[in-house]
Every structure is written in C-alpha cells, then in structure tokens.
Amino acid sequence: MSKIKPEYVCQSCGARFPKWTGRCGHCGEWDTLVEKVLETKKTWVASENHPQSLGAITVHESEERWVTQVHEFDRVVGGGIIRGSVGLLGGSPGVGKSTLILQLLARLAKNRLKVLYVSGEESANQIKHRADRLLIQQDKLLVLIASNLEQILDCLRADQPDFVVIDSIQTLYTDQLTASPGTVSQVRESAGVLMKHAKQTNTGVMLIGHVTKEGDIAGPRTLEHMVDYVLYLEGEKKEQQRILRSVKNRFGTVNEVGLFKMTAKGLVEISKPNSLFIDRFLSTHPGTAVFSAREGSRTIFLEIQVLVGDTQQNNPARTAMGMDRNRLQLIIAVLEKHLNMNFSHNDIYVNLAGGFRVFEPAIDLALMAALLSSHLNVALPEKSVFFGEISLTGEFRSVSGMEERLYESQRCGFKRVFLPAQSLKPSGMSNLTIEVNPVRDIHELREVLA
C-alpha cells in the first residue's frame, strides 16, 4: 500500500498541522499532536444505523469463558477469558510475559481452541526453543512472525483463529501511518484496528506491552481505556516469584492476583504461597520486618527492608521501592512529630523484597517497625508479623482482613503478631496459639524495640 501524506491533530484543541511539533501552535499545549489517518473509508452499513430498544437486543453466546486450567491465571481474569474480549498484558522486559502466554496458548489449544501467537519480537527458532523448554504440546499452536498490521489482519481473516496474542503491541506498525513502530500513534491505531476486528468477528485478542520504569505501558497508556481487561505481570528477573495482577476487568473483579514462580520449565503456579516464602523470614536483622499483605483473597508475607543512614546532603534521599513514596514521607513525618525524632540528616531507603508492590495502608505498622529498627540498630523480635494503618495522630487503626492475616500468620509458623489494639474484638478469637501483641500507638511500638 502506498504511503499517504500524514496530518497531525492536536488532541486538546483539534487544530491540524502538516508537521509534528512538540507543542501545539494553536493552543500551546505540550505533547498533544497525534498523527491522523487521512484515508476516510465508510466503515458502517446503513442497515445497522438505527437505534433499537435495549429490550429487543438478544444476547448470544453470553459470557462464554475459555478456561485455561492455569488456575492462578483463570482466577485473575474472573474464571477464564471471555470470548471476543480484548486484553492487555503488561510487564517489564524479561519478566516472563512471552513464557506465560505460550503456556496459556498451549493449554487453550489442547482444549480445542484455535489459537495464534503473533510475534514481532522473536524468530520462529527462538519461539520453538522456548516451547521445547516448556515441554508444551506444540502441534495445535499456530505461530506467525510478523509486525505489519495489514499482514496480520490478512492472516486473521484467512485463518480465523478463536484467540490471538500479539507479542508485542510496540512492534506493530500500520501502513496507514508514517510514524515508526512503538510510537503512540502506531500503537493506538494498530490496537484500535485489532479491537475492531475482534469485536466484528468475536475473536479474542490479547496485546502484550512492555512497561517503562515508571510503570506505564510505554507510550500507549491510552490502551488501558480501550481494552476490556488489563493485567500486569510483576516480579524481579533474578528472583523466582511472579505476581499477576488485574488492574481493569470489564467482566469481573480487579482485586485478585495470581502467583507463579519462574523455573527452568517456565512459570509454575503457586497455590500455597507462603510455603515458598517462609524460609526467608527465619533470621532477623535490624531494619527488616515482615508484613502480612492481603492480595485479593490471599494473605502473603512480604519482607520490608529499610536502611536509615547518615547523610551530608541538603536533600536527604527518600527512596521507596515497591510502595508509595508518599506513604514513606507520611510515616517519617509522624515519627518526627510524635516521637520527637529528626531524620533531616538521614537518607532513608525502603525496599519490598521480591519485586512485589503494595499499596495498602496496612503496611504502615510494619514499615514503621522496620524504620525504627534500622534507625535504632535493634532487631525486631524474631518470627514476628506486623500489620496496621497509622493515623496522623500517631495511633494505629484497624485494617480489613484482620482475622485472615492473624490466622495465616499462625498457620505459617510465625510466633507473634503486632497489630492495632483497636482491631481486637473484646470476645477474643478462638484457637489462637500465636502471641498477639496489640499496639495502640507509636509510643507502644517504640517500646517493642527498647
């Protein structure tokens, strides 16, 4: 197809330009110019063009779900992939997106679904090597090495797969645009065309996208709004654990997570998460605390590591990996105010071990305990678990899932738990053998380290 002359449209004011610039010459907004496809084809049929009553609409094949039987995956997408839905799977390079997808496709193919894996990133040889390594059944799995959208669409029309995965959306380009692959306009246009195809033909589509360091799907954050579901695969390359998180789902809940570990034979489901992590918590050093996090219907234990060091800098470091930096700032402010401490000459680094991310405020008590422990250079009592939210007045507040966190700590062999005093029911709880230490406020927490 011959290239057509591009035109750029400001997404803010709608002004049009023949050339791309960083700033709109009309309204002055930055970074709002997007390439526009000039060719206008009539894409609708007159007979479809009148409104109908909602009651007259018959739902056919409603909510047919494809179950992959990878339970950790199925649960995250709400019981299976909905036929004809379009999803996005994000994750940093090397985290295991292609591995996960190949394993899922093999399962779906085994269940007699016609699946197609389109790769613009790797050669057929590389994919074959990976499939060999994963010991998956390969004869029903179709593979296409391509990155041209028109070529892929031709293939989809000819082969009519039930489910197609594009690895990755950043490698795609359409002849309709002159911009290079990976740019916002290419990614958006390609995704838009694929989505239209998906909805017209009831084909399931999953787009894989690399995320940048900031955690956005590089460039095309707008895709998140277009698709039916968005999943992220998290974890650190050098660590085994992987967590699959749903951040958007038009067909189900978004607070479930799936847990996997990366092995020599690919991703393996973890159905009893804590048996894998428990060994790590046996030794305690100053600056570490164990937090029991709630992820969907699961309780997971995570190690928080804090380093408080002296600094000569005017602007001491406040670094938080795996959690909200504002949360850290708040905790420092509360400690300074209510315990009369001064961290203005201290760099503070926080890391959540294993590449996990936690955004629930229940982490406050554990984070504070680790921070105080590092600052005072005193280790916390061994085999302890911490959870609770701090208020600005320095008191700890109860959090959701209290009983689950408590009983799971006991089941996993922890000896004691520190939790907000106000969360304890007067009637008490039955069958508790773990030592329960209610903490009212940060003064009481300080005493734990005395």
Site membership for ligand TYD, residue 90 (CB under 6 A): no
Q: How far is the CB of 120 from ligand TYD (least distance, A)?
A: 12
Site membership for ligand TYD, residue 300 (CB under 6 A): no
Q: How far is the CB of 131 from ligand TYD (least distance, A)?
A: 9
By a kind-dependent CB cut-off of 5 to 8 A, residue 134 interacts, out of ligand TYD, Mg ion, none, with: ligand TYD
Closer Cβ to ligand TYD, 165 or 306, answer by number: 165
Site membership for ligand TYD, residue 103 (CB under 6 A): no
Q: Pick from 87, 96, 235, 401 the residue near ligand TYD by CB under 6 A.
A: 96
Distance CA 9, CA 36 (A): 6
The tokens describing 44, both together, are 């609708």
Are residues 284 and 291 in contact, defined by beta-carbon separation less than 8 angstroms? Answer: no
- The three-state secondary structure class of 276 is helix
- The three-state secondary structure class of 10 is strand
Closer Cβ to Mg ion, 119 or 185, answer by number: 119
By CB under 6 A, the residues from 320 to 349 that bind ligand TYD are none
Site membership for Mg ion, residue 292 (CB under 5 A): no
Q: How far is the CB of 121 from Mg ion (least distance, A)?
A: 5
Beta strands in 251-355 (DSSP E): 257-263, 266-269, 288-295, 298-310, 318-321, 346-352
Q: How far is the CB of 210 from ligand TYD (least distance, A)?
A: 7
Distance CA 302, CA 291 (A): 5
Site membership for Mg ion, residue 170 (CB under 5 A): no
Site membership for ligand TYD, residue 125 (CB under 6 A): no
Q: Pick from 6, 91, 258, 286 the residue near ligand TYD by CB under 6 A.
A: 91
What burial class does residue 288 get, using C-beta atoms within 10 Å of its C-beta: 0-12 exposed, 13-18 middle, 19+ buried?
Answer: buried
Binding residues for ligand TYD, how many (CB under 6 A)? 15
The tokens describing 395, both together, are 């008191």
Q: Pick from 23, 71, 133, 443 the residue near ligand TYD by CB under 6 A.
A: 133
Select from 48, 8, 37 the least CA-distant residue to 25: 8
Q: How far is the CB of 150 from ligand TYD (least distance, A)?
A: 25
Residues in the chain: 450
Q: Pick from 25, 94, 309, 413 the residue near ligand TYD by CB under 6 A.
A: 94
Closer Cβ to ligand TYD, 95 or 399, answer by number: 95
**For every residue of 130-181, which 3-state class applies, written as one string?**
HHHHHCCCCCCEEEEECCEHHHHHHHHHHHCCCEEEEECHHHCECCCCCCCC
Please state whether the peptide bond connecting residue 168 to the residue before it is cis, i.e. omega within 30 degrees of 0.
yes
Q: 298-310 and 288-295 as β-strands: parallel, antiparallel, unpaired?
A: antiparallel
Select from 363, 432, 433, 441 the least CA-distant residue to 401: 363
By a kind-dependent CB cut-off of 5 to 8 A, residue 265 interacts, out of ligand TYD, Mg ion, none, with: ligand TYD
Tokens 């390609």: give the residue: 190
Q: How far is the CB of 403 from ligand TYD (least distance, A)?
A: 37
Are residues 343 and 332 in contact, defined by beta-carbon separation less than 8 angstroms? Answer: yes
By CB under 5 A, the residues from 64 to 103 that bind Mg ion are 98
By CB under 6 A, the residues from 243 to 262 that bind ligand TYD are 262
Are residues 397 and 364 in contact, defined by beta-carbon separation less than 8 angstroms? Answer: no
Q: Pick from 85, 98, 119, 374 the residue near ligand TYD by CB under 6 A.
A: 98
By CB under 6 A, the residues from 357 to 376 that bind ligand TYD are none
Q: How far is the CB of 95 from Mg ion (least distance, A)?
A: 9
Site membership for ligand TYD, residue 95 (CB under 6 A): yes
Site membership for ligand TYD, residue 221 (CB under 6 A): no
- Residues in contact with Mg ion by the rule CB under 5 A: 98
Q: Which residues bind ligand TYD (CB under 6 A)?
A: 91, 93-99, 130, 133-134, 262, 264-266
